[in-house]
Amino acid sequence: MSPIYVAIIALACFALGGVVAFFTKQFAAGRRIRRADEEASQIIAEANESQKTILLEAKEEAFNIKAEAEASYRDRRAELQRTERRLGQREENLERRDEAIQRRESSIANKEKEVDRARSRAEELRQRQQHELELIANMSSSEAKELLLKRVEGEIGEEASRRVREMEARVREEADEKARDILSQAIQRCATEVVAETTVSVVPLPSDEMKGRLIGREGRNIRALEHATGVDLIIDDTPEAVTLSCFDPVRREIARLALERLILDGRIHPARIEEMVQKSKNEVEATILAEGEQATVKAGVQGLAPELIKLLGRLKYRYSYGQNVLMHSIEVALLAGMMATEAGAKINIAKKAGLLHDIGKAVDFEVEGPHALIGADIVKQWEKSAEVVEAVGGHHGEISVTIAESFLVSAADAISGARPGARRESLEQYLKHLEGLEGIANSFPGVEKSYAIQAGREIRIMVKPEEIDDLGAMRLARDIVKRVEENLNYPGQIKVTVVRETRAVDYAK
């Protein structure tokens, strides 16, 4: 076969293949188009169905919203109608009130006019009478008022002063008489010895050579004594004397007895010091017990626990402002018992509480707190009576008291401590008290001089007669008394005397 025929056949095959491929592609494309049309039709049908469902739901929701809106509208309309009715009623009430107020205002206006007319008539009458009185008295109304006020003020001041003096005199007489009836019987039977308060004890030595022996080699004797007794031994330049210093009076008494025995014995070394200290301690303990028992007998108090008796005996060595606490306790017990007899209170409770009221001072250097509360805690352990505990704890006001015996113990404590000579103050406190008293007196205008006398129990004030009259002197005394009561703390009472005198001096030539 020639190449031309081969080429023609090849071209024919190629053309036939292209035609077959073209129709094959057209057939496949037609199939895809039909499938796409079917899918589009299906999507359109689904969309139509979804649109119908949405439209139905929207219509239903719109119907519900419309129904709710109509119901809310009806409710609001009904509420508005009720509000309109209430407002209408209020308007009617306001109109009626307005009418009533207008009637009252018109009535008040008429009354005011009548009052103004009456006031004008009264003013005319007053002016006419005043004019006539001025013509009769030959002075103006202001001069008459001033004269009348001066006379009335003087009369009222004199009358007030007179009545105040009468009332003060009457009250003072009654109070003095009642106080004498109760206190004179109590105080006159309880005179006690006053002992100066000390925190040191001085032991005399036979010679100054004894100081070296007390000190010992390298200070062993003095260290042994201080260790055994708990007391500071002061050996200074004081000739033939040694000072014992300690806040605990019992330990100081033990050291004093032991030191006196060592000086008499002459054998001073650590072993002998311990032996003497032990003997002195036994002697002091026996003395404490004996003093406690004697105190109960003197006060007439029975049935105390042995522990309370021992603590009571320790007060023999305790002093407060120069007053022996044990003697003070006995005195308070007797005073409280006597006042309880006069007042009709329980005598046994008053005596027992008075005897034990300062028992906290026996251990106040060992326990912190006010001695009244410490004493109440101690008494509570051994005393069954709650009244005694209350009186002991409340005699200085640390706790509230409810029974008469508590007040009697407080009063007896004040009487025993505040009576003249019972206690002594330090010089510094005494001077401050006098300075404060004179300073208060000098702070008032018109005071020329002031003198605190009788250990601060009386103050005399000299005033300028041209500035203060007799009535002013009485007022000044009362004002100074009030100022002293507010600013100063003092036992007993302070007498305030205001002296006003006029001196006429001339010379014969």
Q: Quick: pLDDT tens for 244-265.
A: 877 778 888 888 888 888 888 8
Q: Which residue has the tokens 């005996």?
A: 313
Confirm if 468 and 432 have CB atoms less than 8 A apart: no
Which one-letter DSSP state was computed for residue 423? -
Q: What is the pLDDT of residue 193?
A: 39
Q: pLDDT digit string (tens) for 108-117?
A: 888 888 888 8
Cα→Cα distances 32→18, 20, 27, 365, Å: 21, 18, 9, 118
What pLDDT does 197 receive?
Answer: 41
C-beta neighbour count of 478 within 10 angstroms: 14
Please answer whether residues 276 and 268 qualify as being in contact, where contact means their C-beta atoms are separated by less than 8 angstroms: no
C-alpha dihedral (119, 124, 128, 129), degrees to nearest 10? -10
3-state SS, residue 226: helix
**Of the candidate ranges 16-25, 135-144, 452-461, the one whose mean pLDDT is the lowest:** 135-144
Q: Residues 6 or more apart from 355 whose CB is under 8 A from it?
A: 295, 296, 299, 301, 312, 329, 330, 332, 333
Q: Which among 384, 413, 401, 484 has a CA at the least distance from the CA of 442?
A: 484
Local confidence band at 227 (pLDDT 50, 70, 90 cut-offs) = confident
Please, what sign has the CA dihedral across residues 100, 104, 105, 106?
Answer: positive
pLDDT digits (tens, 9 = 90+) for 310-332: 888 888 888 776 678 888 889 88
- 65 pLDDT higher than 50: yes
More confident residue, 335 or 39: 335
At 332-384, the pLDDT tens digits run 889 888 988 888 888 888 888 888 888 888 887 777 778 888 888 888 888 77
- The pTM of this model reads 0.47
Q: Are strands 458-463 and 495-499 parallel, antiparallel or unpaired?
A: parallel
With 0-12 CB in 10 A as exposed, 13-18 as middle and 19+ as buried, what is 89?
Answer: exposed
Q: How confident is the model at residue 444 (pLDDT cuts 50, 70, 90)?
A: very high
Average pLDDT of the residues in 132-144: 63
pLDDT above 60: residue 194? no
Separation between Cα atoms, residue 228 and residue 261, nearest integer Å: 15
- Find, among 405, 399, 401, the residue nearest to 355 by Cα: 405
Q: Which two tokens stand for residue 452?
A: 């605190």
Contact 335, 382 (CB under 8 A): no
**153-167, 256-270, 396-410, 446-460, range with the lowest pLDDT:** 153-167
The pLDDT confidence band at residue 303, using thresholds 50, 70 and 90, is confident
